[in-house]
Amino acid sequence: MVELQWYIWLSLGVFIIGLMGFLTRRNLIIVFMSVELMLNAVNINLVAMSHYMQDMRGQMLTLFVIAVAAAEAAIGLAILIALFRTKAAGHVDEATELKG
Amino acid sequence: MMLQLFFAYLAVAILGLSLFIITRKNPVHSVLGMLFMFIHVGALYLLLNAEFLAAAQVIVYAGAILVLFLFAIMILNIKEELQTELFVGSWVMAIPVGAGLLIMLLLGLKSVKPLYTGTHTVEYIKNMTHTKAFGKELFANYLLPFELVSVILLVAIVGAIVLAKKKL
């Protein structure tokens, strides 16, 4: 029997790695991948909690998180393609219109 | 003992592959790392008796989302990508900040215990099979959120079409 603790620590590690990637990477596609990493960390946490609490609620939430992640990836990559077509910019520091 | 070994392997693989994803220069390598990471997370769900979610993880993440990423990578110029710098300006500062956050949360989450126990015990799910138990719960108590998810997916479809039009 693996302790609940270890699942939470694993999900924490994946979340921090995703956060670091999100904040430091320059390529926009990798930034989106880091968001997916963070969502996966949340999913691991929810399923582990659900298993150890013997309750289905966490797994319901996981299903919804997966659906939202799919929608987010579709919209995010559409925005990326639009940005690439109008400005030929694929990096986070090349789109600076809102800076003024 | 077998279970712990399996968990240790999965944990090491997931963490290692996560680091691999965010440190590769070539985005295609990152996507391949991500494919293996998603499959390992699916195996972790199997370890937690969630077969349906393991299948959904592999189908939706590895099957749909990763293909989307590969399509987006096609528009990038890989040759130019390999020459630009990997991280934005002050990435050196990010390492102590991330490590500090990690240590703080590790210590903070040292003693989490589930105080509440529900009715879906391992035996119950074993008797009913996971997919059936999951579906019963979903369509009995979570019908409205389930319907709302369809609206989110509709928004995603319409949004993607509008954003991908020739004239924005």
Give the model confidence (pLDDT) of A31-60 as tens digits: 999 999 999 999 999 999 999 999 889 999
- The CA distance from A28 to the nearest CA of chain B, in Å, is 10
**Cβ within 8 Å of residue B154, ≥6 positions away:** none
CB contact under 8 A, B61 and A36: yes
- The CA distance from A87 to the nearest CA of chain B, in Å, is 13
Percent of chain A with pLDDT strictly greater than 70: 99
Residue A100, pLDDT score? 66
Q: Is the pLDDT of residue B126 over 90?
A: no
Average pLDDT for residues B8-16, to the nearest whole number? 96
Percent of chain B with pLDDT strictly greater than 90: 51
Burial, A58: exposed, middle or buried (Cβ in 10 Å; 0-12, 13-18, 19+)? Answer: buried
May I ask the CATH class of domain A4-91?
Answer: mainly alpha
Write down the ipTM of this complex. 0.91
B163/B168 Cα distance (integer angstroms): 7
Q: Is the pLDDT of residue A87 over 90?
A: no
CB < 8 Å to B158, chain A: none
Every domain of chain A and the residues it spans: 4-91
Task: Search chain B and give the residue with CA nearest A75.
Answer: B160
Q: Where are the alpha helices (DSSP H) in chain B?
A: 2-23, 27-47, 51-56, 66-74, 78-81, 91-108, 122-128, 130-141, 143-163
CB contact under 8 A, B109 and A59: no
A76/B130 Cα distance (integer angstroms): 33
**pLDDT band, very low/low/confident/very high, at A88 (cuts 50, 70, 90):** confident
**Cβ within 8 Å of residue B75, ≥6 positions away:** A81, A84, A90
Q: Any idea which residue has 């003693």 for tokens?
A: B111
**Minimum mean pLDDT among A73-77, A81-85, B6-10: which range?**
A81-85
Average pLDDT for residues A71-97, to the nearest whole number? 83
Percent of chain B with pLDDT strictly greater than 70: 99
Task: Search chain B and give the residue with CA nearest A56.
Answer: B120
In residues, how long is chain B? 168
B59/B53 Cα distance (integer angstroms): 10
